[in-house]
Structure formats: structure tokens, C-alpha cells
Structure 1
Amino acid sequence: MSLTLAPADLNIIRKKDFLLHLFGEGISHSKAPLMHNYLFKKLGCDGYVYECLDSYGLDAFKELIAANKDSKSWSDLKYIGSAVTMPYKVAIIPHLDEIDENAKSVGAVNTIYVRFKDGRAVNIGTNTDTVGIRDAFVFNVPEVAATAKGKPGLVYGGGGACRSAVYALKEYLGCSKIYLVNRFASEVEKIQEEMAANGFTGEIVHIATPEQAKEVANPHLIVLAVPDFAPVTDEEKLARETLDVFINQENKGAVLEMCYHPTQITRLYSAFHEAGWDVVGGIEAMIYQGFAQQVLWTGYSLDEMPTKDVVDYVRETIEEPCLRHDMVGIKL
């Protein structure tokens, strides 16, 4: 089974009508439809429409993929793929025909695409969040990203985005080991054990206290993967105090703040920026993982896409007024 489609097949699917969904809960704020529908039009895929499906359960998804059960070729395909977000990134896996090595190592799927195998449509799961994290660094802070190999990386938080960040820092950006700062040691242990069981070979080190943080080599790249809430519990306060050691380290690198709703300028964004770090807004990861999804759904390569046009459009559409004047130099 080839992931690359023949030119004749590409001509067929690009002229068809497809409704693509983002499956998840509480997703009305998502900026993904803004980006995808703009890019579909730019690529000439006028029959492609992307929308959010705020769904409590997987029944709607199972109904959609069942539409392809009688499809024998691209001409009669009814469903081309979907995006998946929380809380279904893991729950969706048993309903797919295959997942790739990327999704297996991360243990979560955020993208589904269709290919034909032995005369039938096959639903394949992958994880483009990893690509989005990588490219958010590569295209916004290229000098910093280029010097990450062999240096530690760090992820703050043990929730949904953590594993994708760990994978991207190690496998794509070449970090020597990944520090994990999180409020609960049990969550860190679970991440270590499950990612190792799924084939991830990188070293994940729990940094549990400020004292421990002062003893390790400085991280070069950091991914912030927590909501924009002030710490309340003792565990949350300890995790933040531990992170503060890295915020104030002598040698600064680059930080990706994954949280961008309701504001891109989060508490942590401001703290890192004021300390002298290069800070990249989370909307960048959303944009670049979206490009990776479109490669799978439309067959256009990244080089064939009007990436600068799309990036500028999304930035300008959602940019907050304070970013235009007050925070010159911050990378969005």
C-alpha cells in the first residue's frame, strides 16, 4: 500500500466533495476550520469542507467511516479523512484499520486518512501533532532549532500534548533526553512506561524539584503543555517552582507555548519572554500540523502549498491587538 497517490487518483479526489470533521468535545473555539477551509480554496479543492463536530461519543465517527464500506475505488469514495482531538485521540484507535509508527509511539491519533489496500478503503491513523511541534520551532526559530541536537529538551505537563512533544523533541529535533516537569510522579511513570512499550527509545527524566532542576544540564527547547491556569495545589506550585529554575537559567533557548485559547499571551508565555527566551505561540503548531494533514487528504506536498499565504492569513485573522504594538519581537 502506497501513501503516495497516482496522478490520476489525485485528479479524482481533488474534484470530489468531502466533508471533513474535527471530532472532539468543547471544540467550538478551534481555529482549525479557519485554516483548512482557506487552504482548500487556495489549492482548488473547492468541494472540501472542514468543520467541527462537537461530539459526546464516537457514534458519528463510526457512521462516517462506515460510508466507505462498499467503496472499491477513489471514484466512489465517500469519506477522505478526519481530525481528532481530546478526549478521543486514544479511544479512536480500536475503530481504525491501521495506525502508523508515529501514532503507535505517541499512543494517540489526531489524524485519519484513507488509502486503498487489496481493493478496499483502509482508515489509517497518524499523529501530525508531532510534525506541528517540530515545524513550529523549525520555521519560527530556525537557528535555535538547528542547534538542538544533542542537548536536553523539556516538556511541562503530562496531559494530552505531552507525548507528542516528547516524541517531536527526541525523534525530529534530536534532543539528547527529555526532562518532564509535572505535578504527579505517577503520570510521568505512566508516560515513560507506555511510550517505551510502544517502541519509543528516548530517555524521559522526571525533574521533580527545584533542587533537581539546578543540578541538570540546561534544556535548549521547551514545550509548555498545560492550560493557562495559575497553580493552586501544592503539587502544581512545586511543578511551577521547578519550571522557574529553567525559566531563569543562564543559557536561554526557545519555548513553544501550546496553549493559545482564549489568549496566546499566557502567564507562562509572558514569564519566558520577560526572561529572554524566544517564545513561539501555540497557533504555529496548529498551523503546521494542519499542513501535514492536508498532505494526506489532498495529496499536495508541502512545497506545492501556499504556506506563507496561509500562515499570514491565520495570524492576521486571530492576532490579538496587543501583539501588534506592545510586544514587538514575540514570534506568533
Structure 2
Amino acid sequence: MTPNAALFPGLIDNPVVLETGRYAAILGLAPSKGARSPLLWNAAFAAAGIDARMVPMDVPLDRLPALVAALKADARFLGGAVTMPHKQAILPHLDRVEPEAAAIGAVNALYRDGDALVGANTDGAGALSQLEDLTGGALAGKRVLLVGTGGAGCAVAAYLAGRVAALALANRTPRTAADLAARLGKGVVALPGPVTAADLAGIDILVNGSSVGFASGPAGSPLGPDTDALLAALPAGALVYDIIYQPAETDLLARARARGLKTANGLGMNLDQAVIAFDKSNPGAYPGSPGRDALRRVMAEAGK
């Protein structure tokens, strides 16, 4: 297959013509209908002078194994992203999965390691990166309580486990939190019921890893109607972090800010997911910490 030839006709539902020497892709049911990753990745390729593009690939579930095999066999494929509904389904078709992604049971990023195609999960990696920045690199000594252990919360927990002094998990269904804590080990514990003031009294970082927060008012707080009283139990120097970034200030963050607590939303996490995934697929394109900061700036500007 040569540049300017159609990529994988019969395997993907949207037409993709390769116009560069190499390429990345985002795989999903319909990423061609508005996925943000190509915008960010292509700005990063252009800024680094790399002859590559990220393209969306709309692939139904029954053709996913064949597409992954074709991508693996094509040395021009650098890696990319995986979106719904393939984050779990792609696992058995990869050569290797990073330990955190294996613990989560889902991948959202791919990269090539020689002839192998490796799966990663940068959801949790993005949160970890942001929390490291917010704590000035002192995350290892922090006690964290994470509320919500669904898909995104599970990813955040997998990356925090073993990297903080203590990690407690809370979930609307306590059994789900208990199962995740058992899988992660590394001193992770699950709360047996709803979060209490006693649970928060010694916490340095409270993280909302659930989707609760899109709504306004008490229904938009993962701590429920007693949010104000519960936040009052946090130490004065605690950080309240919400992975949601639309709205920019959730009900939880607004209430925490009103109490004088430090707050941050998930916008940086969302950006760092793409930064980390790009870095894995294109090692050396933006080397070192200055390069990572430059990549962040390029992608942030592209995403405005």
C-alpha cells in the first residue's frame, strides 16, 4: 500500500486516504463524527515536523479483530486512541497490555513496540499527572479518598494505587468498590457505605471519579445532600479534585471553594490523556520535561 491509497477498504466504514508516510488512528464505532483526538494529534505532528496524521476509523465490533491485525502488520501505523465501544473488546487482540490497563480492564490508547501492539489506559495516567502537578510532586505522601469506581474512577484508582500513602474507595454500590480494592491490592481499602465525616477527617485529596457532577445543585454532588457538612470535615489544606470539566465548576467544587478548600477540575486530565498517549506512540518527538510542556501547549492551543 502506498501513500494516497485508501486504507483498509472493507474493514472501516469511513473513507480514509493516507497522504503521509506514517499515521495514527482513533478506533471506535463512529469517531469520524466528531472525535477530538485527531485535532490534537495533528497539531502535535505539525509542530514537531513529523510526516504523519491521525485519522478516525469507524469500525463495527465484528471487524475489529481484522482491523487490529491489519494495523499491527502495517509498520507505518504508530498507534493512537481507542474509544467506545471498543475499549474492552480490543484487549484480546493486542500483544501486550500495560499493568494498569489490565487492572482497569480497558484500554484507550495504542502504541507500537517493535512488532508488538501494546494497549494502555491514559485516563488514569492523565489524572495522576495532574495530581502530581497540583501537589508539587508530593503525591506519594497523600491520603486520598476516591468517590465513584465506574469506568473513569476505576482508571484513576488503578494509577493512584501504590503511588499514594493511602487510597480509600467509595461507590454508590459498595460491593463494586470492594471488588476493585481487592483487585488493586497495594493497601487500597473500600468504604462499607456512604462517605462519612469520619472518613474525610484525615484525607488530603478528595477525588470525584464519577459522572455525578454534570447536574447542578445537591443532585450534582457525589457526596449527596450533606455535602457541606462532609466537606467541613476535610483538613483546611485538602484538595478537592473533580474529573469532570464541563461544567468547569461542578457543585462539589463550588461548595469546596466556598469553604476555602483548594479545587481543580478535570480539564488538565483530559488534555494530559492525549499528551501521554501521543508521547507513547511517538517517543522522542517531544523529549524530556520541556518537551512534555511544549506538547501540552500545542495541544491546548489546538483544542481551544
Q: Could you say which TM-score interval applies, normalised by the shorter chain?
A: 0.7 to 0.9
Match of 2:94 among 89, 93, 96: 96
Which digits, 9 at most, give the CA deviation of each residue in 1:99-130, with x for residues without a partner? 122222333222111223xxxx3221122223
CA drift of 1:153 comes to 0.4
Return 5+ residue gaps in structure 2 as ranges.
1-19
Contact 2:54 2:80 in 1 (8 A): no
Match of 1:17 in 2: 22
**Aligned residue runs from structure 1 range 136-175, under 5 A:** 136-139=130-133, 141-143=134-136, 145-146=137-138, 148-172=139-163, 174=164
Q: In the aligned structure 2, how far is the partner of 1:229 from the partner of 1:123?
A: 35
Q: Relative to 1, partners in 2 of residues 1:254 and 1:27: Cα closer, same or farther, differing over 3 Å?
A: farther
Match of 1:79 among 62, 77, 95: 77
Contact 1:103 1:126 in 2 (8 A): yes
CA drift of 1:265 comes to 2.4
Match of 1:226 in 2: 210
CA drift of 1:142 comes to 3.7
Match of 1:185 in 2: 174
1:134 aligns with 2:125: no
Q: In the aligned structure 2, how far is the partner of 1:59 from the partner of 1:19?
A: 21
SS, match of residue 35 in structure 1: helix
CA drift of 1:230 comes to 4.1
**How many residues end up aligned between the 2 structures?**
282
Match of 2:279 in 1: 295
Match of 1:35 in 2: 40
Match of 2:118 in 1: 124
SS, match of residue 111 in structure 2: strand
SS, match of residue 80 in structure 1: strand
CA drift of 1:285 comes to 1.0
1:270 aligns with 2:261: no
CA drift of 1:134 comes to 1.4
Contact 2:201 2:235 in 1 (8 A): no
Q: Relative to 1, partners in 2 of residues 1:82 and 1:177: Cα closer, same or farther, differing over 3 Å?
A: same
SS, match of residue 218 in structure 1: coil
Contact 1:132 1:287 in 2 (8 A): yes
Q: In the aligned structure 1, how far is the partner of 2:178 from the partner of 2:231?
A: 24
Return 5+ residue gaps in structure 1 as ranges.
1-14, 320-332
Q: Relative to 1, partners in 2 of residues 1:252 and 1:45: Cα closer, same or farther, differing over 3 Å?
A: same
Write the letter of the residue equivalent to 2:70.
A
Q: In the aligned structure 1, how far is the partner of 2:31 from the partner of 2:25?
A: 18
CA drift of 1:67 comes to 1.6
Q: State the identity %.
A: 23
Q: Relative to 1, partners in 2 of residues 1:135 and 1:304: Cα closer, same or farther, differing over 3 Å?
A: closer
1:114 aligns with 2:119: no
Match of 2:198 in 1: 214
Measured on the aligned residues, the alpha-carbon RMSD in Å equals 3.4
Write the letter of the residue equivalent to 2:175.
S
CA drift of 1:189 comes to 2.5
Match of 1:65 among 68, 78, 87: 68
CA drift of 1:259 comes to 1.6
Contact 2:145 2:167 in 1 (8 A): yes
Q: Relative to 1, partners in 2 of residues 1:22 and 1:66: Cα closer, same or farther, differing over 3 Å?
A: closer
TM-score normalised by length of structure 1: 0.71
Write the letter of the residue equivalent to 2:106.
A
Which digits, 9 at most, give the CA deviation of each residue in 1:185-239, with x for residues without a partner? 222233223x24xxx42322216235x43256422123222223449999x9884
Contact 2:143 2:204 in 1 (8 A): yes
Q: Relative to 1, partners in 2 of residues 1:63 and 1:273: Cα closer, same or farther, differing over 3 Å?
A: farther
